[in-house]
Amino acid sequence: MIAVEHLTKCYGDFIAVSDLSFEIDEGHVYGFLGPNGAGKSTTMNIMTGCLSATEGHVRINGYDIFEEPKQAKRKIGYLPEQPPLYMNETPAEYLKFVGEAKGLKGLELKKQIEDVAGQTKIDHVMDRLISNLSKGYRQRVGIAQALLGSPQVIILDEPTVGLDPIQIIEIRDLIRQLGEDHTVILSSHILSEVQAICEKVLIISQGKLVAFDKPENLEKLLLASNGITFTAEASKEEIDAILPEISRITEWDVKTQEDGLTAVSVRTGSENVKEISRELFFAFADKKKAILEMSSKKANLEDVFIELTEGDDRAVSDSLEESGVDVE
Ligand code: ADP
Ligand code: MG
């Protein structure tokens, strides 16, 4: 439904988006995840025809956003990072203005405004000034304007930024609902948010696509680094003989310590670290070799993100701090 092909955007010498290609299918909620400065807004602005590309193409249902903008843009509703709201208007006036700009008129316009106001639950604030609405309600008005014209795809750039926790929950619920009959693409620099709402995640770092998968598969990506470390009363040779018996252990590293014990670190490539720990325990016990300490580590999406965006020092530590991850 949306094909982004070799998209590149340069601001002067600076490459904000670099050779980005991906496809969006109908009917899913997609998350565009990346640290601040990764190129999310730039990509969304290009996908929605608000910004030109330096190179590459964006096709919406086959229509090129640059060559056939009218047909292409009709399929898309967009809420930019800075919602284009007029503070001294009411939602009713503002939605009428946007609807007309999208070519709606008369009864159809009236009906659509009622529909989107109902969907975004702003019916009861339609005649208040936007400047007097809370940020959560302003964001709803922004989403309502994106829904006008019945686009199939809704693109939301950081829709929960600056909202309080209750507003965030409400906007996430609204996005989930929209996902039932729209294709939704939202950007976020917060992992837990993307994990909570999205069925597929594109991770973008320094203008490049570094991963595109389901949240649960992204975790699997790092399963290889799911690991167990233990110290045993056994020689390196003995350990090298025991470990191949445990099928799900893919790699190991053995170090003889000064105290005569051996420190072993294994990678499992499996989800079931606990089961493997148990197998290790009994395999060593069978050979009368004691394991004196054992600990395991299971990778999560946070780890995937850190690993994949490593070196993205444009803003990675800021965004991780905001998302509640401890940055040492
Ligand atoms: P994100 O939305 O992921 O935070 P952006 O797409 O806004 O990232 O920005 C990507 C990079 O491009 C950033 O380093 C930003 O500073 C830079 N950038 C964005 N817009 C402009 C512009 N108009 N001129 C120069 N640099 C820009
Ligand atoms: Mg942005």
pLDDT tens per residue, range 69-110: 999 999 999 999 988 888 999 999 999 999 999 999 999 999
DSSP structure class, residue 38: S
Give me ligand 2 centre to Cα 187, in Å: 8
Q: Residue of the nearest CA to atom 18 in ligand 1?
A: 16
**Residue 133 pLDDT:** 95
**Ramachandran sector of residue 54 (left: φ over 0; alpha: ψ -120 to 50; beta: rest):** alpha
Ligand 1 close to Cβ of residue 313 (< 6 A): no
For ligand 1, say whether the CB of 37 is within 6 Å of any of its atoms.
yes
CA 238 / ligand 2 centre spacing (Å): 54
319 pLDDT band (50/70/90 cuts)? very low
Q: What is the pLDDT of residue 273?
A: 83
At residue 71's C-alpha, the angle toward residues 65 and 73, to 5°, is 55
What pLDDT is stored for residue 217 in this prediction? 80
* 142-146: long-range pairs with CB below 8 Å, 24+: 142/79, 142/83, 142/84, 142/85, 143/79, 143/171, 143/174, 143/178, 144/91, 144/95, 144/116, 144/117, 144/119, 144/120, 145/77, 145/79, 145/84, 145/94, 145/95, 145/98, 145/116, 146/77, 146/78, 146/79
Question: Is the confidence at residue 130, as pLDDT, over 80?
Answer: yes
* The pLDDT of residue 314: 54
Which residue CA neighbors atom 7 of ligand 1 most closely?
41
| pLDDT of 7 over the 50 cut | yes
Q: Give the position, in ligand 1's atom list, of the atom nearest the Cα of 38.
A: 3
Band (326; pLDDT cuts 50, 70, 90): very low
Residue in 31, 45, 166, 144 with CA at minimum distance from that of residue 95: 144
CA of 279 to the centre of ligand 1 (A): 50
Distance of CA 307 to the CA centre of its chain: 15
Which residue minimizes the CA distance to atom 10 of ligand 1? 39
Tell me the pLDDT band of 312, cut-offs 50, 70 and 90: low
For residue 21, the tally of other CB atoms under 10 A from its CB is 13
- Residue 252 CA, ligand 2 centroid: distance in Å: 41
Distance 71 CA to ligand 1 centre (A): 27
Question: Residue 307 — very low, low, confident or very high, per pLDDT cuts 50/70/90?
Answer: confident
Helical axes 106-119 vs 135-147, angle rounded to 10°: 140
What pLDDT is stored for residue 299 in this prediction? Answer: 67
Instruction: Give residue-wise pLDDT tens across range 225-283.
Output: 678 999 999 999 999 999 998 878 878 999 999 998 999 988 877 778 888 899 999 99
